[in-house]
Amino acid sequence: MTMKVNRGYTGIPSFMRQRIALDPAEWTEAKIGILGVPFDEGSPFLPGSRMGPRGIREHSLRFPYGDPLYDPDTGEEYLGEELKRGLIVDCGDIDIRPANPARTFELITEKVRAMLDAGLMPVTLGGDHSITYPVFEAFDTPLHVIQFDAHQDYAEVTEDLNRTNSHAFRHITGMDTCLSLTQVGIRGLRTTKAHVDELRAKGHRVVAMTETRALGAEGIAALLPEGSDVYVTIDVDALDLSIVPGCVSGEPDGMTFRQLMEALKAIATRHRIRGFDFVEVNPPLDIGTGATSYLGALVVAGFLGFISNQPWWAEIRDAAAVPA
């Protein structure tokens, strides 16, 4: 048999070349589900983030196939068991209903709920940030929410405007399942003082960039009680404008890649991650190398790697190996 080389430009672009499983009946042995939501009708400026899931998947093909991910800086290996045992499945994309966001959001919630019912931890690739609302709506268990973002996305809901990427966290903080919201990396002159004051008055946290730097990774993770159940949402514009050319809403003075990854590692170490999303990669705006899509693939794979090395995750993962 001819050995497969698996260059990054060959093959069907499932996330990290993992098995495509569109039917819930195929999810039985898995523990992590990748879901694409190619929706950008919530973006009021420039379209294009609908292509984010495809771009991130394509650049995830560049990772070595069949071996654990390895960080030469720390000497750590990640996702060895998950990759070896086929515990990650790519659940495909939501079948978007163009010009009908209400129905699209229903489909997102239904799909994520099915993933949760099947025992999968959902990892969602956006799409614009409006999608976090229907994703989070699928969770029945109360969770703390940590949002890495340049912007609060806390605009008032009106009859005319209610499902843009500026509304997700107004919806989410109104749910009984949201125990708290911690916004990290907020900055720029597009932030509204009234929104900051309102969230803080309701007991939520708004952590601007100066405080983000002062807290560091461990300080950010320590904002929640040890061992909290957490949902994490990551907008690519949490990172500095200079490193995310394929982002419509980038802001200067943002987090570095290392700052973000160290914070995600500290959160995974200190808390139980029940799901996460990565949103707002806009491939049509990106440079020719697809740098922002590749960065997205790195963040998603890296965060999964941090999760996979935690004792709390090992209990969940190894339960898959126990005969019923």
CATH number of the domain enclosing 272: 3.40.800.10
Q: Does the residue 6 lie in any domain?
A: no
The tally of domains found in the chain comes to 1
Beta bridge partners, 145, equal 181, 231
Q: Does the residue 4 lie in any domain?
A: no
Q: Does the residue 5 lie in any domain?
A: no
Q: What is the per-residue pLDDT for 161?
A: 83
Place of tokens 């993933």: 115
Q: Does the residue 2 lie in any domain?
A: no
Beta bridge partners, 206, equal 183
Task: Determine the Cα–Cα distance for residues 56 and 151; give it in Å rounded to an integer.
Answer: 22
Dig out the tokens for 229 from the structure.
């159940």
Can you tell me the mean pLDDT for 207-230? 98
Whether residue 324 is predicted with pLDDT greater than 50 in this model: the reply is: no
pLDDT-above-90 percentage for the chain: 90
Q: What is the per-residue pLDDT for 162?
A: 86
Q: What is the per-residue pLDDT for 321?
A: 52
Q: What is the per-residue pLDDT for 2?
A: 72
Q: Who contacts 45 (Cβ-Cβ below 8 Å, separation ≥6)?
A: 248, 249
Helix (H) or strand (E) holding 124, with range, is strand 121-126
Place of tokens 């672009």: 13
Residue-number span of the structural domain to which 287 is assigned: 15-319
Q: Does the residue 3 lie in any domain?
A: no
Question: What's the N-to-C CA distance of the chain in angstroms?
Answer: 36
